Amino acid sequence: MSEELLNLTLHVWRQDGPSQPGRFETHPATGISTHMSFLEMLDVVNEDLIEKGKSPIAFDYDCREGICGSCGMVVNGVAHGPQRLTTICQLHMRQFNDGDELWLEPWRASGFPVVKDLVVDRSAFDRIVQAGGYISIRTGSATEANEMPVAKAMADQAMDAAECIGCGACVAACPNASASLFTAAKISHLSLLPQGQAERLDRARNMVAQMDAEGFGGCTNHGECEAACPKGVSLRWIARMNREVVRSAVKSDSGVKTARR
């Protein structure tokens, strides 16, 4: 693919802190190579801002490889930008055309307060995981690898749910700012594995209670989360989470059980 240079206009959400009012600021992005990633384009804009003595646009990232879940912003109304199954750090500028106007906004959700500009505080997700997204294991030397057999079909499903990188795009895209897809992915991935059975009922109960306590909305089955998710996490895990919640409400034992498909 041959390189082209793009000139773009960015309307960027600027906000100094969680309780400060935000506003859009317009900045040109000139001479942007189509080979750049979206975040590299912002790096270029930021260098220019710094040279002019202005404060650079704050945005989150870590790996820039689409695996850590740190990055994320809404571009022209779409979480992680226009390419499906792609984090914003893996989005390339060849997805855009010369002269495009781009509106960059942070994830907007009461559960994700803005830290600065496009950076939001996603510690609500950490607290949901702390409420039950773990397993208890024996410490000491590692157990023998094949001690606990896992059927291939279950392992595959658990892997699908475990693909969630916790980026928060599902919350950003949901009309209700619901964290259902994230919470469902975490509950499902552990409830499918034998290691996850011990805390299975408490996990569903406690993680869902924490999800509600963080101020996220409820699911109305619109499917926007699934469409926005860079990892293709499926709505079927939300159905599974609901089954787990019913199970946790009617059963009281926490005994070890085998997961059912």
Partner 1 sequence: MQRALTLHQTTIGKKLVMALSGLVIVGFVIGHFLGNLNLYRGQEALDAYAHFLQGLTPVLWGTRLLLLLAFGVHITAAFSLWSRNNKARGSRYKKHQDMATDYAARTMYWSGPILLLFVVYHLLHFTILPAHPGEVYRNVVEGFQNPWIAGVYIVGNIALGFHLFHGIFSATQTLGANHPRFNSYRRDAAVAISAAITLGNLSFPISVLAGFVTV
62 binds ligand FES (CB under 6 A): yes
220 binds ligand HEM (CB under 6 A): yes
72-131 positions binding partner 1, by CB under 8 A: 74, 76-78, 103, 105, 108-111, 113
26 binds ligand HEM (CB under 6 A): no
Place of tokens 């279950």: 154
61 binds ligand FES (CB under 6 A): yes
161 binds ligand SF4 (CB under 6 A): no
140 binds partner 1 (CB under 8 A): no
Phi/psi of residue 36, nearest 5 degrees: -70, 155
Task: Report the C-alpha gap between 27 and 7 in whole angstroms.
Answer: 11
Region label for 140, one of left (φ > 0), alpha (ψ between -120 and 50) or beta (otherwise): left
Q: Give the residues across from 13 on adjacent strands.
A: 24
109 binds, among partner 1, ligand SF4, ligand FES, none (CB under 5 to 8 A by kind): partner 1
Region label for 60, one of left (φ > 0), alpha (ψ between -120 and 50) or beta (otherwise): beta
Task: Report the C-alpha gap between 185 and 16 in whole angstroms.
Answer: 33
Place of tokens 């930021």: 46
- Closer of 26 and 221 to ligand HEM (Cβ): 221
93 binds ligand SF4 (CB under 6 A): no
Report CA dihedral (212, 16, 107, 121) to the nearest 10 degrees.
-50
89 binds ligand FES (CB under 6 A): yes
184-243 positions binding ligand SF4, by CB under 6 A: 185, 228-231, 233
181 binds ligand SF4 (CB under 6 A): yes
Number of residues that bind ligand FES (CB under 6 A): 12
Phi/psi of residue 120, nearest 5 degrees: -120, 155
- What are the residues binding ligand SF4 (CB under 6 A)? 164-170, 181-182, 185, 228-231, 233
